[in-house]
Structure 1
């Protein structure tokens, strides 16, 4: 992990949210109330069951690491046996019957998601459309990165794009990688941010044509990322070399000061 990477400078998060701590609002994820309840059991790193039987899945974050027991213990340390309130735009259960929500332990103003991110026990998923909420979560993660706590205490927490094999080892998992974009090329309806010269083996981030208007609306063209040092987050797939598909502008952070 480089010194530049730890500075959390200008970032292209959801709608160009700044990762600077003072920019985020404390209650940025306080959406409409979706109910409340008592935590009866923690299921995994971001899911728990209320005493009325409802299963809740934490929105806006991804598990940090592959140790499921450790992830569940981290969540239990924050909300185990506590009363909580649920907030969000939609309380419709997903296809697995889980209600996705932002969760607050009773008597607190900080979401469970922010607390896990602050402790380095979760990763910001960059899938939050609300600007204030995205800024809150990004700032919480940024504080853990700077403090090198939790997952960020390991030098390999952020993958180096010059080591595509390390990224490929995390296929199917949510991963954060950083490096310099050596070239930007379009092939059909896909734009490739290439981090190496060997396009069949090196790491690349891909942006579909349908995403280009969102980048332009954010004042950022993919071509402008050429020769920039960036951090990209998302699920790793393999199409020749390791790939992360960019589905949202917030998955990319610009790390250099250009």
Structure 2
């Protein structure tokens, strides 16, 4: 059968189908080449470099688990308590996971810190635990997009009073010295108005009380200052501002939290 093309020209049906097939193949090749050259972007936030994949075979504690290949993994960017181990188990036990992070170097306990994605999930397990109120953001993630993502998930749980946040005293008052001292050795969130910022030797002190030897204060070492400067935080500008700080409580005369990363300090309400 001939196909009329006009102006006295004809082509066979076979030739027409052949040309159509070549065009279709060419279009597919262009699409595939574009996909290879421009792979789909990972979700924003905590999607770092791929650090491994595998199946979770055992839960060690509220933020650590063991992989089938023997690796022990610690969830990066969050802090939890032993009471919340079941929350992690419900999300990852027996599941295939993808590990992402800025490095696969183990911590001092031999665990690999990572952001953990179950199968093809767009957000890490950390976000789910925070949104459920089963964890606190550590404030130690240097990547701004990731840190903001974690804090947003935590804030959603706090506003909805889920998990940890059902306790109205989950955030300690900076003026309640005794309540903070009762948390020595524990990761704690403290909120209050900064009275003064002073430097003594190689350490800067963010003071929340007049009795600096007894009242709560945040300490920042000189070696940590570049992280705050890079984040655009001037310590002096915090005076008379209400802030929220997170970290491990120590007793050095009065209760102290050492801040090594800018993300450990955030502006609170009423500023």
TM-score by length of 1: 0.84
Give the Cα–Cα distance (whole angstroms) in 2 for the partners of residues 26 and 107 of structure 1.
11
Kindly indicate whether the alpha-carbon contact (under 8 Å) linking 1:26 and 1:136 is maintained by their aligned counterparts in 2: no
Q: Displacement, 1:94? A: 2.9
SS of the residue corresponding to residue 219 of structure 1 reads: coil
Where does residue 50 of structure 2 map in the other structure? 33
Alpha-carbon distance, 1:26 to partner: 5.0
Counterpart selection for 1:196 from 209, 219, 223 = 209
Q: Indicate how the Cα distance of structure 1 residues 34 and 147 shifts in structure 2: closer, same or farther if over 3 A, else same.
A: same
Unaligned 5+ residue runs, structure 1?
Answer: 1-24
Instruction: For 2:52 and 2:230, locate their aligned partners in 1 and report how far apart those are by CA, in whole Å.
Output: 35
2:69 is paired with a residue of what secondary structure?
coil
- Structure 2 match to 1:87: 100
1:49 equivalent among 47, 66, 73: 66
After superposition, the CA RMSD in angstroms is 1.6
Higher relative contact order (CA 8 A, sep 6+): 1
Residue 117 (structure 1) aligned with residue 134 (structure 2): no
* Bigger shift: residues 212-221 or 142-151: 212-221
| Residue 219 of structure 1, CA deviation | 2.6
Match of 1:9 in 2: none
Is residue 2:182 matched to residue 1:181?
no
Q: 1:108 to 1:167 in 2, by over 3 A?
A: same
Q: Secondary structure at the match of 2:58?
A: strand
| 1:60 is the counterpart of 2:87 | no
Relative to structure 1, is the Cα distance of residues 29 and 218 closer, same or farther in structure 2, using a 3 angstrom cutoff? Answer: closer
Distance 1:94 1:208, change over 3 A: closer
Worse-matched range after superposition: 46-55 or 215-224:
215-224
Asked whether the 8 Å contact 1:212–1:221 carries over to 2, the reply is: no
Aligned to 2:261: 248
2:3 matched to which residue of 1?
A: none
User: How far does residue 256 in structure 1 lie from its aligned partner after superposition?
Assistant: 3.9
In structure 2, the residue matched to 1:222 is 235
Q: 1:29, 1:150 → 2: CA distance?
A: 23
5 Å matches for 1:15-26?
26=43
- Which residue in the other structure is 1:166 paired with? 179
1:47 Cα deviation after fit? 0.3
The alignment of Structure 1 onto Structure 2 pairs a total of residues equal to: 230
* TM-score in terms of structure 2 length: 0.80
Change (3 A) 1:149 1:106: same
Question: Highest Rg: 1 or 2?
Answer: 2
Secondary structure in structure 2 of the residue aligned to 1:220: coil
Higher percent of residues as helix: 2
Alignment of 1:73 with 2:90, yes or no, is: no
